Amino acid sequence: MKSFPRDDAADGSGGTLARLRHGLYRFFAAGFLEPDGNRVAALRDVSAILSSHGLERFAFFGPWDRLVRTLRENCDARDVISEYALLFSSAVGRAVVSLHESDFTVPAGTPPGRVLADLEGDYAALRLGLLDHLSGRPDHVSVEMEAMAALCDREAEARRLRSPECTARTVAGERRFLDRHLGAWFPVVAERVGRSGAGGLYPTLVAAAHAFIVHDRELVSVLGGVAEDEGIQ
Amino acid sequence: MRAAVLLCGDLESAAVWAARADGEVHVVPHLCERPEEIDSVLRPGQVDRLVLGLCSERGPNAEVQTSCRRLGIDPLGVEVMALGGVSPGPGRVLLAGAVARVKAFEGSRPENVKLVRPERVSRRSFLRLSAFANTSVPSVDPDTCAGDRGCRACIPACPREAIAWSRGRIRLDREACEPCGLCVTACPAGAIVQPTCTAAQLEAQVVAILSERAEEPTGIALVCDRSEPPETHEGWIPVRIPCVGMAPATWLLAPLLMGAGSVAVVPGERGCSPRAHAAVRDRVDFIRDVLRLAGDPEARMADGPDLERAPVPGAPASFAGNPFEPSTASAVIRSILGVRGPSGLSLPHPGSPLGLVRIRADACTGCGLCAGACPTGALLVDESEGAVEITFDARACVPCGQCIPRCPETIAGAITLVPAVDLERLGRGREPLYEGGTARCVACGGPIAPLAMIERVTKLLGTEHAPAAAVAAKYCMECRVSVPV
């Protein structure tokens, strides 16, 4: 994962916020991939870096802090692998919770293909291309998180280049993606994981991701206004 | 739940309150000037809840909220009180109530948090990324929500049109929400929660207030968050709620059952919906009628000018359970009326928190759609061998009206609903409103439909479709396909 950038005066404050959000989305994207022995250590290290950027300013800090403490309390890699399998993987029978948007179709009975087609259309409209190894699962939560990370990166660049039009367009794209996709179905994941009674790393990861996504959805609607504020780009 | 009180050292009575308060109290010099420095007074994890006593009213403060998060305190649960100019006695009572209220705060969900948009974002504040404070909005529990059964009671209750049925569930638009709480008490299923104003918090606050004032006559004034606290006699203690329009009639009776002598509502002065004000007037009128019927002095439901006089003495607390909980509405009414009111009392009133359903047996077809729509289970349908029965329990009816539009025979007046209290029907418990037979399939013996429904449909189909109607009356859906035409 690329290292998180320092505050950069050339980015301006809006760019700093966009880069912070980019880092958080990438962190969560990595968190929901199938774990391996190194994953927990990497998540622990990155969470410490992100925490040093004053996340207590944001409403999702409580669940984030609990996640950081859980990661620090020496999550055993083998435990994490079996927790992931039991909670999310249908390879061990029926998964408790799916991490694919197409499994949360509304209205019930909507063909998953319809969801996937809409999603791929939205990726194309946002000029986001899927890497080959991800094209089979464009609706996995990690892929959607990476999409948001890419948009935040684009926003940071637009602010750095002092392009208010590009900034506004990108922020609008973030809002739309959260409304239509990640922000619409991930809260249901959080509800189901909460009801499952599962312990360990993943319920705290899901709770932190849920709080972040809900907060970010609000933030992008405010950022849309700030992008046009005089002198702030 | 551990709570701390931080008082600004500039408050005249700060030392008095600190000396007499139970629990952890700190007097912090010039706290009002730098309220965000609470994390220099408290350690992370030291307390779970916080009350700030400041010299003047404050809105949500981003820096205070950041400090709270560092300390492990949910910022939405922090009570900030304006105590400048408040005398020692009333201040002690207010603080006791605030501590009880924050201790009863159960925490918030991400959906309860709304960014408070500043009017203007300055470069300086945005540079610090500390421009955004948060306020609390209600959230919808999808497991408890009866929206999947067609309930939409919350939608018309919202004066900001912030609630909609979308993508298979009730959703609240936090951007549009100006938290008034009207949806919370409009929800018949209790699925909408405003975590900073729950029944548990209100009960805890009133109990603490009355306990502090012991034998002194006490009035509880439910005050809108948007109004300035009125000038009152010191026997009146304010309890803030987002909007007095959210208070059902039972919230006005609750303090009286808990030992308060009088109760009042103080509506907001600006930005409140006229519909909410009208609802409040209906409920106040209802309470006055109830108190009159119970032989109680009407002064117990006070008006504006009454707040300048001492409240009347109260009776000892006489209610088991939390009278602010919606599920206790019928018990609250019966507590006030049941012993002292006239027997056989029936009081129809638009402000009534309970309702009465009537079904006309000659118009009802026994379809049971009304019961399917009822979010509280006041109406139930039972389809057992050869019969259909619709029953009603007046104790559970919160006149939400969801049953009425679902009835296909509404035009014939098959079902009516009246907001009313009827002691006799409350005492009866569950009673049958409709009983009828069920037609059985001549082929398999399985149920087809209620006899009254078949009769109705046959009549609607007329002579032109009589053969089809005859088949439908004799055969169930599965067996029908085998019947030669």
Partner-chain contact B74 A13, CB within 8 Å: no
Residue B25 has pLDDT above 90, yes or no: yes
Q: Do A232 and B129 touch (CB under 8 A)?
A: no
Measured CA to CA, the distance from residue A130 to residue B46 in angstroms comes to: 48
Q: Would you state the pLDDT for residue A106?
A: 65
Nearest to A54 among B62, B72, B129 (CB): B129
What's residue A10's pLDDT? 42
Measured between beta carbons, the chain A residues lying within 8 angstroms of B167 are: 106, 184
Residue A5 has pLDDT above 50, yes or no: no
Asked whether residue A167 carries a pLDDT value surpassing 70, the answer given is yes
* pLDDT for res B271: 66
- Find, in chain B, the residue whose alpha carbon is nearest to that of A60: B110
Q: Is residue A226 predicted with pLDDT exceeding 60?
A: no
The pLDDT assigned to B274 comes to: 82
A/B interface, count of CB pairs below 8 Å: 65
Determine the distance in angstroms separating the CA of B64 from the nearest CA of chain A, rounded to an integer.
10
Q: Is A211 on the interface with B (CB under 8 A)?
A: yes
Q: Given a cut of 50, is residue B283 above it in pLDDT?
A: yes
Whether pLDDT at B362 is above 70: yes
pLDDT band at A2 (very low <50, low <70, confident <90, very high): very low
First vs last C-alpha separation in chain A: 27
Q: What is the pLDDT of residue B98?
A: 96
Are the beta carbons of A56 and B69 separated by less than 8 Å? yes
Q: Is the pLDDT of residue B147 over 90?
A: yes
Statement: residue A230 has pLDDT above 70: no
Q: Identify the closest residue of chain B to A211 by CA–CA distance.
A: B110
pLDDT given for residue B45 in this prediction: 92
The percent of residues above 70 in pLDDT, for chain B, comes to: 95
CA distance B485 to chain A (A): 34
The answer to whether B129 contacts A16, with C-beta atoms less than 8 Å apart, is yes
Look at B21 and B109; give whichever has higher pLDDT: B109
Residue B295 to residue B289: CA distance in whole angstroms: 10
**Most B CBs within 10 Å: which of A20, A51, A57, A178, as the mutation test of the B interface?**
A57
Per-residue pLDDT band at A11 (split at 50, 70, 90): very low
Mean pLDDT of chain B: 90
Give the closest-approach CA distance of A130 to chain B in angstroms: 27
Q: What is the mean pLDDT of residues B459-476?
A: 88
Number of CB atoms found within 10 A of residue B174's CB? 21
Give tens-digit pLDDT for B412-451: 999 999 999 999 899 889 999 999 999 999 999 888 999 9
Q: A32-87 pLDDT, tens per residue?
A: 998 987 888 999 999 999 999 999 999 999 999 999 999 998 678 888 888 898 88
| Chain B, nearest residue to A188 by Cα | B142
Residue pair B261/B314 in contact (Cβ under 8 Å)? The answer is yes
- Identify the residue among A214, A219, A221, A230 best suited for mutation to test binding to B, counting B beta carbons within 10 A and taking the highest: A214
pLDDT of residue A77: 82
> Average pLDDT, stretch B25-33?
90
CB contacts, 8 Å: A60 with chain B: 110
Average pLDDT rounded to a whole number, residues B99-123: 85
Residue A147 has pLDDT above 60, yes or no: yes
Contact B107, B31 (CB under 8 A): no
Residue in chain A lying closest to B175 (CA): A218
Question: Does residue A103 sit at the B interface (CB-CB below 8 Å)?
Answer: no
User: Mind telling me how many Å the CA of B222 is from chain A's nearest CA?
Assistant: 29
> A 169-188 residues with CB below 8 A of B?
184, 187
Stretch B448-457: mean pLDDT: 92
Q: Dump the DSSP string for chain A.
A: -PPPPPP-TTTHHHHHHHHHHHHHHHHHHHHTSPP-TTHHHHHHHHHHHHHTTTGGGSTTHHHHHHHHHHHHTT--HHHHHHHHHHHH-GGGSS-SS--BGGGS-SSTT--HHHHHHHHHHHHHHTT----GGGTT-TTBHHHHHHHHHHHHHHHHHHHHTT-HHHHHHHHHHHHHHHHHTHHHHHHHHHHHHHHHT--SHHHHHHHHHHHHHHHHHHHHHHHHHHTTSTT--
Model pLDDT for residues A185-224, shown as the tens digit of each residue? 999 999 999 988 888 899 999 999 999 999 999 999 887 7
Comparing alpha-carbon positions, the chain A residue that sits nearest to B136 is A59
What b/e string do you get for B127-138 counting C-beta neighbours within 10 Å, with b at 16 or more?
A: bebbbbbbbbbb
Shortest Cα distance from B72 to chain A (angstroms)? 7
Is the minimum CB–CB distance between B168 and chain A shorter than 8 Å? yes
User: Under an 8 A CB cutoff, do A62 and B129 touch?
Assistant: no
Does residue B478 have a pLDDT over 80? yes
Cβ of A62 and B69 within 8 Å?
yes
pLDDT in the model for residue B200: 97
Closest to B129 (Cβ–Cβ): which among A57, A60, A214?
A57
More confident residue, A135 or B460: B460
Q: Is B132 on the interface with A (CB under 8 A)?
A: yes
User: Which of A106-115, B293-302, B459-468 bottoms out in mean pLDDT, i.e. has the lowest?
Assistant: A106-115
Q: What ipTM is given for this predicted complex?
A: 0.87
Share of chain A above pLDDT 90, in %: 57
Whether residues B110 and A60 touch (CB distance < 8 A) is answered with: yes
Distance from CA of A83 to the nearest CA of B (A): 24
Query: How much is the average pLDDT of B76-97?
Result: 92
Average pLDDT over residues B378-406: 94
Token pair for residue A28?
């969560």
Contact residues, chain B, for A54 at CB < 8 Å: 129
